[in-house]
């Protein structure tokens, strides 16, 4: 059975789904690998490195011939799906809550689509948890970006020419990305405050050196899958009120608040921006799913009441070498789950909660219950 890794079609995507190291791991399972010519050139992995690892390097249109599973970071173009063999599988970030067209396209083409966003966030699934691997890289990069753009040093420095006070960083939403942002800002010597609606986060944030802002929201909790629940309008108002002082103090604010499969909660309103110090820098990780900050725009730096807001649509793509290595490992993790030793093929066993969680389409049907529910009866 052949695993095919085509190049990314979206010019904004710098990450890729296979490295020479991951090719070796796939070959070790007993599977064949084909990569598209030039796949890793921009990251320092020439075609020869993939060949040495055991992949065949294929140019142009014939890449999909005989593919058993196609893996990529981003979803395919809708017209590309027709080129995938019927009965093949596809694994990648598919944004299935927002891409009904794609989900239907996969079903019509008879391709089994697996969404990396839908992998359950369990201990057993950690090896293929691509959301976590990419959030981690993004958490690091957001702090590096802030440090570069702020115009103020992060660590305290006592020099003969004067004392520099440490930068004050506020992290709102301390899941995987937020916790990595805290750890990175700490290494740079910043003074960090953090807030999250899930009570379990307090201890994690504090263990990394942040001061947790206690806001009494009443019952907030998390969903069965470990994700944050949406706050009621009253709770949202309490959160805003509780955060104002910390926002006024901050030099940098990093917002990563997300609600699984839903638009991001709006956390910093225009009124709150007005109360912040001019020159404060906000990095909005949630910009692609609607933004945590009122007025933030993807891939632009906007200045609102003197506060600069930066939101990139692809933060992990700024650290593409390591983000690709992690993602490629996640794909290997998925293949290990799917691989049946006896037949040396990839098998979709939906008794496995990981497979059942991420499988969206199969044999012409939309089989994922969460996605079916969201799409309504038409699914
Ligand atoms: P996410 O990207 O869905 O959300 C980011 C953070 O925003 C979360 O911590 C969430 O609680 C928070 N948030 C939501 N609304 C907020 C608001 N109004 N104000 C402030 N914060 C708000 O989260 P994630 O980083 O992808 O993690 C999701 C869950 O999966 C977490 O519970 C995490 O611990 C869990 N997880 C488990 C494992 C495992 O191996 N068991 C691995 C990775 C993640």
| Number of residues written out for the chain | 379
Band of residue 237 on the pLDDT scale cut at 50, 70, 90: very high
Ligand 1 centroid to 176 CA: how many Å? Answer: 6
| pLDDT on residue 226 | 85
pLDDT at 265 over 70: yes
Burial zone of 153 (CB within 10 Å; 0-12 exposed, 13-18 middle, 19+ buried): middle
Characterize 92-119 residue by residue with b for buried, 16 or more Cβ atoms within 10 angstroms of its Cβ, and e for exposed: bbbbbbebbebbbbbbebbbbbbbbebb
Band of residue 60 on the pLDDT scale cut at 50, 70, 90: confident
328-371 per-position pLDDT tens digit: 999 999 999 999 999 999 999 999 999 999 999 999 999 999 99
Percentage above 70 pLDDT, the chain: 99
Band of residue 272 on the pLDDT scale cut at 50, 70, 90: very high
pLDDT at 379 over 70: no
Closest ligand 1 atom number to CA of residue 135: 25
| pLDDT on residue 67 | 97
pTM: 0.96
* Domain 138-314: top CATH class: alpha beta
| pLDDT on residue 330 | 98
Q: Which of 74, 227, 249, 288 is catalytic?
A: 227
Ligand 1 centroid to 227 CA: how many Å? Answer: 5
Placement of tokens 């052949």 in the chain: 2
Closest ligand 1 atom number to CA of residue 258: 4
Find all residues with CB under 8 Å of 313, minimum gap 6, and list them. Answer: 12, 287, 288, 298, 299
* Mean pLDDT of all residues belonging to the chain: 96
- Catalytic residue flag (residue 227): yes
Ligand 1 atom 28, closest CA? 227
Pair of tokens at residue 289: 């799913």
Q: Which of 72, 115, 129, 235 is catalytic?
A: 129
pLDDT at 7 over 90: yes
- Catalytic residue flag (residue 124): no
Domains 2-128+320-374 and 138-314 share a fold: yes
| pLDDT on residue 61 | 77
The rounded distance, in Å, linking the Cα atoms of 130 and 335 is: 13
The rounded distance, in Å, linking the Cα atoms of 54 and 172 is: 45
278-333 per-position pLDDT tens digit: 999 999 999 999 999 999 999 999 999 999 999 999 999 999 999 999 999 999 99
pLDDT at 18 over 60: yes
Q: Which of 74, 83, 104, 121 is catalytic?
A: 121
| pLDDT on residue 378 | 56
19-53 per-position pLDDT tens digit: 999 999 999 999 999 999 999 999 999 999 999 99
Band of residue 377 on the pLDDT scale cut at 50, 70, 90: low
Ligand 1 atom 36, closest CA? 121
The rounded distance, in Å, linking the Cα atoms of 47 and 52 is: 9
| pLDDT on residue 27 | 98
| pLDDT on residue 54 | 98
Say if CB 298 and CB 288 are below 8 A apart: yes
Ligand 1 centroid to 123 CA: how many Å? Answer: 15
pLDDT at 228 over 80: yes
**Domain covering 2-128+320-374 in this structure, CATH number:** 3.40.50.720
118-147 per-position pLDDT tens digit: 999 999 999 999 999 999 999 999 999 999
Domain residue limits, the chain: 2-128+320-374, 138-314
Closest ligand 1 atom number to CA of residue 123: 40
């Amino acid at each position: 059975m052949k695993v095919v890794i085509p190049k990314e079609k979206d010019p904004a995507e710098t990450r890729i789904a296979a490295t020479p190291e991951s090719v070796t791991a796939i070959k070790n399972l007993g599977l064949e690998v084909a990569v598209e010519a030039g796949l890793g050139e921009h990251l320092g992995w020439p075609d020869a490195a993939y060949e040495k690892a055991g992949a065949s390097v294929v140019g142009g249109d014939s890449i999909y011939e005989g593919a058993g599973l196609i893996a990529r970071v981003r979803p395919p173009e809708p017209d590309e799906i027709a080129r995938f063999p019927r009965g093949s599988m596809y694994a990648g970030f598919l944004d299935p809550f927002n891409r009904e067209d794609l989900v239907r396209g996969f079903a019509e083409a008879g391709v089994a689509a697996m969404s990396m966003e839908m992998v359950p966030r369990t201990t057993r699934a950690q090896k293929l948890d691509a959301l976590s691997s990419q959030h981690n890289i993004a958490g690091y990069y957001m702090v590096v970006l802030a440090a570069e753009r702020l115009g103020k040093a992060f660590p305290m420095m006592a020099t003969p020419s004067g004392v520099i006070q440490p930068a004050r960083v506020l992290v709102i939403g301390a899941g995987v990305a937020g916790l990595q942002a805290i750890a990175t800002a700490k290494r740079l010597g910043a003074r960090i405050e953090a807030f999250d609606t899930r009570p379990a986060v307090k201890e994690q944030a504090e263990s990394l050196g942040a001061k947790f802002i206690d806001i009494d929201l009443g019952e907030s909790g998390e969903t069965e899958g470990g994700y944050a629940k949406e706050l009621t309008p009253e709770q949202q108002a309490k959160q805003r009120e509780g955060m104002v002082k910390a926002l006024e103090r901050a030099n940098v604010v990093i917002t990563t608040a997300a609600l699984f499969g839903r638009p991001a909660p709006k956390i910093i309103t225009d009124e709150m921006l007005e109360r912040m110090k001019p020159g404060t820098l906000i990095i909005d990780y949630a910009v692609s799913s609607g933004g945590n900050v009122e007025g933030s725009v993807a891939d632009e730096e906007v200045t609102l009441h003197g506060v600069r807001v930066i939101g990139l649509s692809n933060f992990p793509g700024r650290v593409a070498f390591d983000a690709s290595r992690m993602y490629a490992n996640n794909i290997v993790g998925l293949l290990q789950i799917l691989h049946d030793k006896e037949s040396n093929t990839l098998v979709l066993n939906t008794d496995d909660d990981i497979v059942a969680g991420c499988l969206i389409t199969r044999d012409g049907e939309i089989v994922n219950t969460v996605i079916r529910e969201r799409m309504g009866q038409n699914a």
